[in-house]
Structure formats: structure tokens, C-alpha cells
Amino acid sequence: MNSNSTSSSSWADSDPSLGEVLLQASVIQSKIRELGKIISRDYAGRSLLLVGVLKGALLFVADLARAIDLPVEFDFMAVSSYGVTTKTSGVVRIVKDLDMDLTDKDVLIVEEIVDSGLTLSYLVRNLQARNARSVQVCALLVKEGMQPSGLDIAYTGFVIPPVFVVGYGLDLAEKYRNLPYVAVHIE
């Protein structure tokens, strides 16, 4: 593993499945502050509902909410298209639905990573059908060249190569979510 990972976990330093660190914790936090300023400007004078996509976006939602200088509400959905593998199954299931009514709300879906775009496309259509005033997307990571055309992501943190990554909420079989950085997972 890359020695400049600034890991606070000795277990991660010796894990042979962790490869190159793509995004240091400080770089991630700087980008989140930048996104928060842009979102605050774009939604000025309105309240905003952040819809976090569990479990992966939990850390990103928390940090992003603190970077937004507006009143925000939170709700969460859990969806699945992966299971415990590194490849999407192609089928999206809602595991936990929202608790709030979206009627006339400005909704920002907060996603940790956009890979195939299948899950995100499904979520956007699903939430638009619930009478929200607006539905936009904020993704921390977007995999280069993987999304179908027509997928609109209003706020993007980083474009990364099409590799499997873990850390900062991203997992493999529930492991690695607590790393403060994003690293390549070596199969």
C-alpha cells in the first residue's frame, strides 16, 4: 500500500488488498468544502433535503451537510445492486425507503460513487415521481466512461479511473468503509 496514505489504522497499512491511494483524506475534505459552497450558492433562499444513499454515502452526507450554509433536512435510502461482489448485478432493489414526503421539496441525492449509473438513474426517476420540486445529484466519485448517456450529475467531486475502490464509505463486503481516504482494492 502507498506509504503516504496517512492512515490512522495499522490494520490497513498491512492489508495486501489495498493498493494505491487515489484520494487522500485532506483532498477529499477540501473538495467537500468546495462542493458545500457551490451548493449553498445554488440553493440560496431555499431549504434542501439531502437524500443519502446508504451505507456508502453516510460519511459523505455528514461532511457535506456541515459544509452547506443553508437549512438542510436529511433522509436516507438503502438500495442494492452489488451484494458482496465487485460487479453490479444489474438489478436495483430498495432495501430501505425514505421516511419523508418529497412533495414540493428540493432534493439533492448524495451518492458516494457512480459506477454504471444504473442505481442512480433508478433513484432519480423514483424520486421525481414523488412530486419533488427538484431532484439533483451530488456524487463524490464518478468512474470515468462508465455512465450511460443522459445521466445528469449536478455536482461531482472527483472523476476516477474505472477501478474498484474502497474507503471513505466505500466497501467490499462491508470492510474498509472507515478508511479516511479512497484506495484501489486489489483483487
Catalytic annotation present for 115: yes
* Rounded distance between C-alpha atoms, residue 59 and residue 171, angstroms: 12
Catalytic residue (one of 15, 63, 106, 115): 115
Pull the grid cell for residue 141: 466519485
Residue that is written with C-alpha cell 463486503 in the block: 173
Angle formed by the axes of helices 58-67 and 25-42, to 10°?
A: 60
Q: Are the CB atoms for 114 and 88 separated by under 8 Å? A: no
Q: Are the CB atoms for 89 and 111 separated by under 8 Å? A: no
Q: Annotated catalytic sites, by residue? A: 115
